[in-house]
């Protein structure tokens, strides 16, 4: 009896097909962000302060006061400047692009550490979990914008590109990430080199 054994390699789905399925799932779960103008109260605060800044008002003055550092307001203000004031669909699109870029970086990290499939799994889980469980997770909040430069710096460290990784950590995490979220400072080089102030 000649039975031909099917090896796991022969049954494996092509990586491009899995990547397409993962991308479609991430896109589908993020689509509700485009059905609602505001997904979180923070978006209303960021949007109103960004509109005030675009009209010439000063940040942290002229009524533009919030406890967040300026990076998130600058992101909203730049988006409003390009697409129109209070254009929250554009803000949600920018957030989705940032999530997609972070997924790509996570894929590269997973591929570097383990395998392409591990990278695809990490990217897909990140893309899905940034929107699952609570509708407010779809909001264009500071966490989404700070994750991209942090993961990019980690990828550069894995590739032993110390200069570029360090520059990204110092430039992006110190200025952009810590401008978006104070918690990002815990991941930056300052926390390693000097005590917190």
Average pLDDT over residues 38-44: 89
Instruction: Select from 155, 150, 151 the least CA-distant residue to 183.
Output: 150
Average pLDDT over residues 174-190: 50
Identify the band that residue 194 occupies on the pLDDT scale cut at 50, 70 and 90. very low
Average pLDDT over residues 154-174: 72
- Determine the structural domain holding residue 45 and report its residue range: 15-189
Helices (H), the chain: 8-11, 15-30, 41-54, 71-83, 88-113, 116-129, 142-158, 162-168, 178-180, 189-193
pLDDT for the residue 195: 42
**Mean pLDDT, all residues of the chain:** 80
CA distance 191 to 28: 38
Average pLDDT over residues 152-159: 85
Residue matched to tokens 């966490």: 143
Check residues 153 and 101 and name the one with the higher pLDDT.
101
In a domain, 44, yes or no: yes
pLDDT for the residue 87: 95
Number of domains in the chain: 1
In a domain, 128, yes or no: yes
In a domain, 3, yes or no: no
In a domain, 29, yes or no: yes
Residue matched to tokens 């990828």: 155
């Amino acid at each position: 009896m000649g039975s031909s054994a099917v090896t796991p390699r022969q049954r494996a789905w092509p990586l491009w097909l899995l990547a397409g399925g993962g991308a479609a799932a991430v896109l589908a779960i993020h689509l509700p962000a485009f059905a609602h103008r505001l997904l979180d109260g923070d978006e209303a605060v960021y949007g109103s302060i960004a509109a005030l800044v675009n009209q010439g008002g000063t940040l942290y003055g002229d009524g533009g006061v919030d406890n967040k550092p300026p990076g998130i307001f600058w992101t909203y203000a730049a988006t409003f400047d390009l697409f129109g004031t209070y254009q929250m669909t554009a803000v949600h699109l920018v957030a989705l692009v940032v999530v997609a870029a972070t997924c790509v970086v996570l894929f590269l990290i997973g591929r570097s550490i383990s395998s392409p499939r591990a990278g695809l799994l990490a990217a897909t889980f990140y893309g899905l979990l940034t929107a699952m469980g609570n509708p407010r997770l779809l909001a264009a909040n500071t966490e989404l914008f700070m994750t991209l430069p942090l993961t990019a710096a980690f990828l550069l460290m894995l590739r032993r590109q110390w200069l570029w990784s360090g520059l990204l950590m110092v430039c992006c995490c110190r200025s952009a990430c810590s401008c978006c979220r104070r918690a990002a400072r815990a991941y930056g080089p300052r926390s390693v080199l000097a005590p917190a102030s």
